[in-house]
Amino acid sequence: MPAVPLQSLWSVTAPAGRACTALTTAWRAQAAVIGAGYTGLSAALHLAQAGREVAVLEAADIGAGASGSNGGQVIPGVKDDPDTLEQIFGPDVGARAVATVAAGPDLVFELIARHGLRCDAVRSGWIQLAASEAARAQLAGRVEQWRRRGAAVELLSRAEVVRLTGSDRYCGGLLDRRGGTVQPLSYVRGLAAALGRCGGRIFTGTPALKLTRTAGAWSIETPRGSLSAPLVIIATNAYSGAVRDDLRRTVVAVPSFQVATAPVPASLRAAILPGGQAASDTRRLLRYFRLDASGRLVMGSRGTFAAVPSVRAVRHHYHAVHEIYPQLDGLAFEYHWGGLVAMTRDHLPHLHELAPGLLAGLGYNGRGVAMATVMGGLLARRALGTPAAELGFPVTPLRPVPFHALSGIGARATIQYLRLADALARARGNP
Ligand SMILES: Cc1cc2nc3c(=O)[nH]c(=O)nc-3n(C[C@H](O)[C@H](O)[C@H](O)COP(=O)(O)OP(=O)(O)OC[C@H]3O[C@@H](n4cnc5c(N)ncnc54)[C@H](O)[C@@H]3O)c2cc1C
């Protein structure tokens, strides 16, 4: 089947990024970071702010992974509800982990304000939309759990959802006022610029090829140079490769694809997301959508997309937009792009200490704008000597996904299954 040309809305609308070059010498730093996405740049920025000489190696360009291509939805928390986190980790560690993940949007918007990052940041909340009555009941429980912890989260009736989103496809929802939106590529480029102002170096077009331990330091081999540092942070998430194959095998990389329309006409704008919130639904193959700064509807979902998705995959997205917003039928789709989401078996992000002076953070399950930024801060604090027990997030051993080599097939089969389950639920009257 023929493919559509890929072009990301974000790459067209982001201000130019910091100009960087490849590493061509033997470089030394106090801390080295592999990967220039939110995790790596947040870690590097926190380290640089603490006075450390830090150098970042990026295989391609700043934000070339998920950080430059995502939906820009700043979502508090992780997939698991707060009570579940406390059950998993126990009341003490669990409660601190809840506080850590809940504060993700605070950190994102604080960094944006402190460093003056120009990334169309809007903090007007995140809406989670119930695709069925059962999902609405689940959202009610989630709201109750967050409210018990003092968070500004409220349950929405069907009518309130229609008023806030302009779609009548959903049974209800929740509004989490802690969330918001950013232009994702502008945000990651902004972090890189802030790092530069704090003295941090970034080498682009510089893949880390091999990592070895020498006397008192790690040495990272790259195609035309090398970097040595006593501390190394691996921040390659779904794009992790052979540098640490055991780490790569802890996540399954699932493609996620997005489309953006032409700007929504003024006559319809007043009804579609008039408050500027981001929205995601509770379907098994979730759909997420928002408006950008020029009023384009941006919608994404996960699926079995090739690097260049088929026309069928693209039409699937057009269909989803029209199902949620029939009033947009006829409006042109102008941008198509995608990226890889790192999924973990337990749906939790992971912070690992692979060896003394070697840390890694990854596995945000599609919620990395806030959580990867938080993870960068946690990695930096651990690198600076905060004891693991005082971080506020558990440091866990590596748990590679069994039969990882088959995970591509597994991910595809899972997605087909979830698509079928969503279709059956719709046929039963539960959209
Ligand atoms: C289409 C899509 C939509 C999403 N939407 C949302 C959303 O709306 N809200 C949300 O919260 N989350 C969303 N996510 C998830 C979020 O984007 C990610 O969790 C987050 O960006 C992860 O950041 P990161 O820095 O860990 O990884 P990345 O941004 O993927 O960065 C990893 C970097 O490592 C580099 N790299 C890899 N190997 C090497 C090497 N050997 N040497 C040097 N560099 C290397 C890569 O080139 C890449 O730049 C979405 C993801 C996708 C793909």
Question: For the segment 335-386, what is each residue's pLDDT rounded down to a tens digit?
Answer: 999 999 999 989 999 999 999 999 999 999 999 999 999 999 999 999 999 9
- Strands 252-263, 333-343: pairing is antiparallel
What is d(CA 306, CA 353) in angstroms, rounded to the nearest whole number?
33
**Counting atoms of ligand 1 from 1, which one is nearest the CA of 64?**
49
**Computed over its alpha carbons, how large is the radius of gyration of the chain?**
21
**Counting atoms of ligand 1 from 1, which one is nearest the CA of 364?**
19
What is d(CA 301, CA 326) in angstroms, rounded to the nearest whole number?
18
E strands, 104-200, where?
A: 126-130, 153-156, 172-176, 180-181
Fill in the DSSP letter of residue 99: H
| Residue 411 confidence (pLDDT) above 80 | no
| Strand, helix or coil for residue 98 | helix
Tell me the pTM: 0.95
Ligand 1 center from residue 238 Cα (angstroms): 6
The strand pairing partners of 33, in sequence order, are 56, 233
Neighbours of 423 (CB within 10 A): 11
H or E stretch covering 371: helix 368-383
| Strand, helix or coil for residue 164 | helix
CA torsion, ordered 21, 24, 27, 29, to nearest 10 deg = 20
Could you tell me the pLDDT band of residue 425, with boundaries at 50, 70 and 90? low
Hey, what are 154's tokens? Answer: 């409220």
- In order of 145, 306, 354, 389, the CA distances from 283 in angstroms are 21, 22, 35, 36
Q: Which of 10, 70, 371 to mutate to test the pocket of ligand 1 (most atoms within 8 A of CB)?
A: 70
Least confident of 1-5, 104-108, 139-143, 257-261: 1-5
Ligand 1 center from residue 339 Cα (angstroms): 8
Ligand 1 center from residue 277 Cα (angstroms): 22
- What integer is the mean pLDDT of 256-260? 93
**Counting atoms of ligand 1 from 1, which one is nearest the CA of 340?**
53
Hey, what are 96's tokens? Answer: 């601190």
- Assign 3-state DSSP to the chain and report helix, strand, coil percentages, each to 5: 40, 25, 35
Ligand 1 center from residue 289 Cα (angstroms): 18
Could you tell me the pLDDT band of residue 310, with boundaries at 50, 70 and 90? confident
For residue 181, what are the contacts with CB-CB under 8 A and spacing of at least 6?
Answer: 72, 73, 74, 120, 121, 122, 276, 277, 278, 290
What is d(CA 48, CA 318) in angstroms, rounded to the nearest whole number?
44
Ligand 1 center from residue 279 Cα (angstroms): 20
What is d(CA 173, CA 179) in angstroms, rounded to the nearest whole number?
14
* Closest among 180, 183, 179, 182 to 8, alpha carbons compared: 183
pLDDT of residue 307: 59
Fill in the DSSP letter of residue 30: S
Could you tell me the pLDDT band of residue 416, with boundaries at 50, 70 and 90? low
CB burial of residue 312 (10 Å; 0-12, 13-18, 19+): exposed
**Ligand 1 near 431 CB (within 6 A):** no
b/e map 275-304, b = 16+ CB within 10 Å:
eebbbbbbbebbbbbbbbeebbbbbbbbbb
What is d(CA 122, CA 119) in angstroms, rounded to the nearest whole number?
9
Q: pLDDT for 120-162, tens place per residue? A: 999 999 999 999 999 999 999 999 999 999 999 999 999 999 9
H or E stretch covering 279: strand 278-281
> Under a CB-based contact definition with an 8 Å cutoff, are residues 65 and 238 in contact?
yes
pLDDT of residue 1: 36
Neighbours of 331 (CB within 10 A): 18
**Counting atoms of ligand 1 from 1, which one is nearest the CA of 35?**
34
Q: pLDDT for 6-23, tens place per residue? A: 899 999 999 999 899 999
Ligand 1 center from residue 251 Cα (angstroms): 13
